Structure 1
Amino acid sequence: MNRRHALAGIASASTLSVSGCLGDLLGSDSDDGLPNPTLGPDDAPVTVKVWEDFSCPHCKTFDQNVYPQLVENYVTPGDIQYVFYDFPIPLTRWSWDVSEAARVVQDDADDSDAFWTFKDRMFENQGAYSKDVLSSAAEALGVDGDSLLSDVSDDRYKPVVEAAKEEGTDMGIRGTPAIFVEGEAVDSPTYNAIATAIERNL
């Protein structure tokens, strides 16, 4: 049995800092539920934390152009642990719905890589989100599409998303994508800027 029925949360807010997509700030005092998805070893010398919004076009650019290079050059060799955080602004209602759907996949799929595959598929479909897009992508990863849509409709995973956003809010994040290397904000979401920060900490 998964953790979905134990989730609970509260909404609150705060301010400050950087990036591409901006908006009003929502958050949560809850830290219950799923851990934030991670790639790379727990004992990696450097931790990279990334906050994204599934409806943010700057996040799509980051996910398709920068993230794969970070995985190839730093995650795979074991130099960094890469941690994903939700930060729905929202630009549209899909900012929250897709974030919650991704957490359903994280919790329900047997494959530990399913969240990352689903994340990439969602950014590929940015601007064309629909219930069918969410359920089809989930079913391709072995997650029941109808169950996923029900969980999203019921906001079962909203506390998890809110908790991730609240952590970013507490760090001063106002926009996405926001990248922190060893707790320090990177001033540009480009590969060179992030790689420079990583190399400085290796």
Structure 2
Amino acid sequence: MIAALGGVEALIDASPAAAQSVPPLELLVPPPLGDRSLGKDDAPVTIVEYASMTCPHCAHFHETTYPELKKRYIDTGKVRFIFREFPLDPLAAGASMLARCADKDKFFPLIETLFQMQRTWAVEKPIPPLMAIAKQAGFTEQSFNACLSDQKMLDAMQEEQKRATDKFKVNSTPTIFINGQMQKGAATIEELAKVIDPLLKAS
């Protein structure tokens, strides 16, 4: 695959998570690449999702739970949603890099498209289908290749992944924090609502 992706390692701690919550202020320190977020900056509830683009559970979450989460909580100003990359393999890192290289307003649409089409590009020969998706988001072949060769971006992504593993005990995807409370796995909207709604009432 493209050279920069060769150095990606899964910075995974296989031990079970020791903590079920983390200090929200520490969690909200932006990663080296900055945060990509949706919703009001001063929303009473902040959700941080760590996801890997090749993770089927993440794709399932974004296809089933996320649209209702966005409609019910993010679009209504109740939740600020932050998406952070936690690539479990070189291909996931490449897909995350493409989303980062896209125009800022195309970041979330491209993330959703990549999850929806995960089965078409998370394959043995991923470059042609990935390039087809990227071209729809405005990439040229040249900008596509330049993005995937960006070692500084890859290093910054891995740095945040290490921080998430070491400080926040993230060791699987998706891992979601709701005002610092950890939720592992592709939660349903009902499961998320059980955590979100009491926080909204308390705010």
TM-score normalised according to structure 1 size = 0.76
CA distance in 2 between partners of 1:52 and 1:171 (Å) = 14
CA distance in 2 between partners of 1:31 and 1:116 (Å) = 17
Over residues 165-202 of structure 1, what are the superposed CA-to-partner deviations in whole Å (9 max), with x where a residue is unaligned?
Answer: 23321201110111110011125522111111111211
For residue 81 of structure 1, what is the aligned residue in structure 2?
A: 80
Segment drifting more, 68-77 vs 160-169: 160-169
Per the TM alignment, residue 43 of structure 1 is displaced from its structure 2 partner at its CA by 0.6
For residue 196 of structure 1, what is the aligned residue in structure 2?
A: 194
For residue 51 of structure 1, what is the aligned residue in structure 2?
A: 50
CA distance in 1 between partners of 2:130 and 2:184 (Å) = 32
CA distance in 2 between partners of 1:144 and 1:134 (Å) = 12
The amino acid that maps onto 1:172 is K
2:84 is paired with a residue whose SS is: strand
From 110, 114, 133, the equivalent of 2:106 is 114
From 116, 140, 155, the equivalent of 1:124 is 116
For residue 62 of structure 1, what is the aligned residue in structure 2?
A: 61
Per the TM alignment, residue 113 of structure 1 is displaced from its structure 2 partner at its CA by 2.9
The amino acid that maps onto 2:51 is E
Over residues 121-158 of structure 1, what are the superposed CA-to-partner deviations in whole Å (9 max), with x where a residue is unaligned?
Answer: 11122132222333332332233342122221343421
Unmatched 5+ residue regions in structure 1?
1-10, 19-29
1:143 aligns with 2:139: yes
The amino acid that maps onto 1:185 is M
Structure 1 pair 36–125 and aligned structure 2 pair: CA distance change class (3 A)? same
Over residues 29-51 of structure 1, what are the superposed CA-to-partner deviations in whole Å (9 max), with x where a residue is unaligned?
Answer: x943x312100011101100111
CA distance in 2 between partners of 1:136 and 1:165 (Å) = 28
From 92, 95, 113, the equivalent of 1:95 is 92
2:53 is paired with a residue whose SS is: coil
Unmatched 5+ residue regions in structure 2?
1-8, 18-29
1:157 aligns with 2:149: no
For residue 8 of structure 1, what is the aligned residue in structure 2?
A: none
